Each structure stands twice: as C-alpha cells, then as structure tokens.
C-alpha cells in the first residue's frame, strides 16, 4: 500500500514561470491537505480539498495560487508567475476521515531562480 | 493567542537522558492531540495520538492537562535517532477540519 506520493521531489523554476505540484493520496483517502514550509519555519496550512471540492482555502495566498482535486487523478497545487519568495517545501497530506490518520508525502522542494 | 505554543529550543541533551517539553494550546474544546516528529528536510511523521489523559508508547509518554491546557511529551533513555523537531498538534475546533502546526521544539541528542 503506497503512501502519499508527491512529485516532483525537486522543482526549479525561473521567476515568472508556472509550477505544478502533484499529490496522489493514499488508497482509500479522500481528504487532501497542502502545507508550505519556508526555510527555518513551521508548516503553514494552505488548503483542504475533497474530491472535486475545496473545503477550506483560508491559507492560500489570494493571487497566483490555486488547487484542485479532480474526480480522477492527483491533487494539483498550481503556482503561477512564481517569485523567489515561493521557494519552499510543499507538503501534501491525506486522511481517510477528517484529521485522523493524517499521513504526509515526502514533499516537493520548489526553488525559484 | 496562538493556537499552539511550544518552546522552540533547541534542547541539547546527552544520550540516555530523559527530556520533556510542553505544548500549550488555546482552544479548550480540543479533544484530541497529536505529536509529530520532523527530521531535517523531511516530512512530519505521526509519533503519538492522545485522546484522553495521556498515552505511552515505549520510551515516549504524552500527558494531557486539560485544566491548564497543555500537553507534554517525555522521552526516556534518549537515543541519537531521537534528534528531530517535535510538533504538538491539537485537533481543530468542530468544523475546522485541518491540523494547525506550530514551530515545534528542536531536540538534539548528543553522544
């Protein structure tokens, strides 16, 4: 039973480009959460999704960031027109039921040059 | 007041020692709590869940004090591999279906 799969593990983008981060939850998990961790800082909640629905996006920046969790396929976190301040580790977690059994993926490390 | 507050440390203790650190939380309605550990540049991993007054798992003991709204983590006979950042996470208020992480407490076990 594979865990939460995130890809790519490392992503380098130039300023102004788009970044797409993918997260495949564990089998049977229908709740997906995205977190961002800046260097030397804690995990910051970004968005909580269920299939085809955004449940809580209170942590998402107002511009350039979007997330989806389609009926088929992985959840996608999309960052348009990246800036250097977007450089961080982005972690995805999934759970079968709200917050219980919260399992994290290995993360995607985004570097904007 | 922050949802979660932890002493960021760092705590430096010798191998074999017992170490404890606390976490205070602001939401008195929280029923469940989680301790996660995060190694440098890795994902957080669930260490322990606490649903009542406390929980024990091998060398690790978590104790919950609802009256004072804090939860502690005790590590006995510490190992070098215990070096990590420990994150205290209370369950969110009803309807808030996400976990809010604090900065965590950084622990280094020295040989």
DSSP state of B32: -
A43: nearest CB among B32, B34, B44: B44
pLDDT of residue B93: 52
What span, in angstroms and rounded, lies between the C-alpha atoms of A69 and B97? Answer: 17
When comparing pLDDT for B76 and B98, which is higher? B76
Among B2, B4, B32, B44, most A C-beta atoms within 10 A, so best to mutate, is: B44
**How close, in Å, is residue B106 to chain A by CA atoms?**
11
Instruction: Give per-residue pLDDT as tens, A37-58.
Output: 998 888 999 999 998 899 999 9
pLDDT of residue B8 exceeding 60? yes
pLDDT of residue B94: 47
Low-confidence ranges of chain A (pLDDT < 70): 1, 98-101
pLDDT of residue B38 exceeding 50? yes
B65-71 mean pLDDT: 90
Three-state secondary-structure class, residue A73? coil
B77-81 mean pLDDT: 97
**How close, in Å, is residue B6 to chain A by CA atoms?**
11
- Please spell the DSSP secondary structure of A5-42, one letter per residue: EEE-SEEEE-TT--EEEEEEPPTT--EEEEEEE-TTS-
Query: What residue in A sits closest to B87 (Cα-Cα)?
Result: A42
- Do B110 and B15 contact (CB within 8 A), yes or no? yes
């Amino acid at each position: 039973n594979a865990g939460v799969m995130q890809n790519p593990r490392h992503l380098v983008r130039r300023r102004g480009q788009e970044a797409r981060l993918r997260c495949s939850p564990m089998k049977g998990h229908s709740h997906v959460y995205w977190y961002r961790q800046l260097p030397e800082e804690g995990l910051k909640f970004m968005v909580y999704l269920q299939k085809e629905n955004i449940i809580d996006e209170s942590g998402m920046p107002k511009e350039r960031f979007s997330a989806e969790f389609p009926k088929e396929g992985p959840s996608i976190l999309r960052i348009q027109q990246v800036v250097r301040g977007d450089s961080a580790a982005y972690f995805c977690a999934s759970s079968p039921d709200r917050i219980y059994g919260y399992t994290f993926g290995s993360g995607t490390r985004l570097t904007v040059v | 007041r922050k949802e979660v507050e932890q002493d960021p440390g760092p705590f430096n203790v010798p191998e074999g020692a017992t170490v404890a650190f606390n976490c205070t939380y602001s939401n008195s309605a929280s029923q469940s709590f989680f301790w996660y550990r995060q190694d440098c540049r890795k994902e957080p991993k669930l260490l322990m869940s606490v649903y009542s007054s406390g929980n024990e798992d091998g060398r690790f003991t978590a104790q919950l004090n609802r009256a004072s709204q804090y939860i502690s983590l005790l590590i006995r006979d510490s190992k070098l591999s215990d070096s990590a950042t420990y994150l205290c996470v209370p369950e969110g208020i009803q309807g808030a279906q996400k976990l809010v992480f604090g900065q965590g407490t950084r622990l280094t076990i020295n040989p």
